[in-house]
Amino acid sequence: MTDLFDMTGKTVLITGGSRGLGRAMAQGFAEKGADIAIVSRKADACEAAAAEIAKLGVRTFAYGCHIGRWDEIEPMFEAVWNNFGKVDVLINNAGMSPLYPSLGEVSERMFDSVVGVNFKGPFRLGAIAGERMMKAGGGSMINISSTASINPSPGTAPYSGAKAALNALTQCFAAAFHPKVRVNTIIVGPFATDVAEHWPDPPDPARPGLTKSGRRVGLPREIVTTALYLAADASAYVNGAAIKVDGGGWGMGRAAEEAAVA
């Protein structure tokens, strides 16, 4: 049977790709043969991740870009496109959700930063990438959202709103770029990334996939197969979809959920 998840010859651009879920997806796509562009704020972290992934025998490219800054996005995309000659898959993974003591203490700067990284940046990058992919013959775009977008709480207000907007953006882009470019969303729950170390109930290093109290959380590698599915020919007729990857959403206390979204 043909491997529907084979990514050989494809180029994948991942924002927030130097750590956490982005790093796991970069590894997973490279293992399936894809060339990888890793983008995040810290160029040195991108370069380190790209060098490690290149050991798998694929081409890699590192670029430092703040996704929340509109004027940095097009030069970044042009650099990636010029390096590989194309972009087949865009994964809008970069995100942020700083904690705050109360709603009244959310500053304008914090609010704008959260909206910028989680919504404004993906809008601008998706618009540029989608139009270029259309002209080149097709592609796939995956927006990484959060269960906070559909189950908001006082501790995640700006983040929940921005990710809900990202969910809506998926529908807009799916319609705009149909049928050549497919645009889908992965709605993620709590995962045991480096951010999880700051949870009230953090992951237990001795028991992967569990917090210290025994609650189930996702391992970064458990996002990979869903992302591969949405990027590859396996999902050729899937467009405008939102797939939850959250273990069912059971067992996490509210405080842990709020801390998990960053």
Tokens of 246: 């959250």
Say how many C-beta atoms besides its own lie within 10 A of residue 102's C-beta: 8
Contact present, 60 and 50 (Cβ < 8 Å): yes
Beta bridge partners of 203: 211
- Our answer to whether residue 229 is catalytic in this structure is no
- Our answer to whether residue 159 is catalytic in this structure is yes
Among candidate residues 146, 149, 160, 235, the one labeled active-site is: 146
Cα distances (angstroms) measured from residue 117 to each of 93, 131, 145: 10, 21, 12
Sheet of strand 89-92, all strands in order from the earlier edge strand to the far edge: 60-64, 35-40, 11-15, 89-92, 139-146, 181-188, 242-245
- In whole angstroms, give the CA distance from residue 80 to residue 40: 13
Among candidate residues 63, 100, 159, 229, the one labeled active-site is: 159
Among candidate residues 10, 32, 120, 163, the one labeled active-site is: 163
- In whole angstroms, give the CA distance from residue 163 to residue 187: 9
- Our answer to whether residue 163 is catalytic in this structure is yes
Tell me which residues are annotated as active site. 146, 159, 163
